[in-house]
Amino acid sequence: MSAPRELQKEEIIDLLNRCWMTHDGMWFYHCLKNFGIEKANELNKAAIKSLAPMEIDRITKALGLENQIENFQGLKDFFAAASPLLIPAFMNITISFPKENTLRWQFEPGNCFAYKGIKRIGVIDQYECGVIYRLQCWFDSLKVRYNVTPQVLRCLMRESGLCEGEFDFDFK
């Protein structure tokens, strides 16, 4: 028997995120099977909303960024540091900052990890997007005011094959 190989940092992050997203997907699936799609969506959003403050607190502390997200540059610095940890390549999303006070998200067409999983279990037409909702809950936890365009409730990718939009922030 050979010794296990040593994983690189990026491989560890990818593995842990894949395991976390699989757990999240299985949790949603079992809520769906036991309680139906309306209750699964409700429970998913409740879990995301209650997790976000703890998640943001842990991340900002780990990165040494507590109380430093008071302006757009602070938010960009937070995302630059947090994204490699929480948004690995398999999620197929690009986050950019095309202009002052704007964060843009864009998934590869037809290739959102949540879209593919929810479509596989057969409820994509009724699924309420948890991915963009998670970002909204992060911003709420950071006490950052924002507007999101488009407003996201159901899966955008299901409607048009695309999921993209912008958060416009107000740091006044």
The reply to whether omega before 84 is within 30° of 0 (cis) is: no
Within-domain flag for 4: no
CA-to-CA separations, 141 to 76, 90, 144, in angstroms, rounded: 16, 26, 8
pLDDT above 90 for 106: yes
% pLDDT > 70, the chain: 100
pLDDT above 80 for 5: yes
Within-domain flag for 55: yes
CA-to-CA separations, 100 to 88, 107, 136, in angstroms, rounded: 25, 21, 18
Residue 122, domain CATH:
3.30.1380
| pLDDT for the residue 88 | 84
Within-domain flag for 3: no
Average pLDDT over residues 82-92: 88
Number of folded domains that form the chain: 1
Three-state SS string over 4-66 comes to: CCCCCHHHHHHHHHHHHHHHHHHHHHHHHHHHCHHHHHHHHHHHHHHHHHHHHHHHHHHHCCC
The mean of the pLDDT values for the chain is 93
Radius of gyration over alpha carbons of the chain, in Å?
Answer: 17
| pLDDT for the residue 102 | 98
Q: How would residue 69 be classed by pLDDT, with cut points 50, 70 and 90?
A: confident
In 3D, which of 81, 92, 73 has the Cα closest to residue 56?
81
Within-domain flag for 92: yes
pLDDT above 90 for 131: yes
Q: How would residue 66 be classed by pLDDT, with cut points 50, 70 and 90?
A: confident
Give the range of the structural domain holding residue 91, as residue numbers without chain letter.
Answer: 9-170
pLDDT above 80 for 1: no
Give the number of other Cβ atoms within 10 Å of residue 162's Cβ.
14
Within-domain flag for 2: no
Within-domain flag for 14: yes
| pLDDT for the residue 159 | 83
Within-domain flag for 1: no
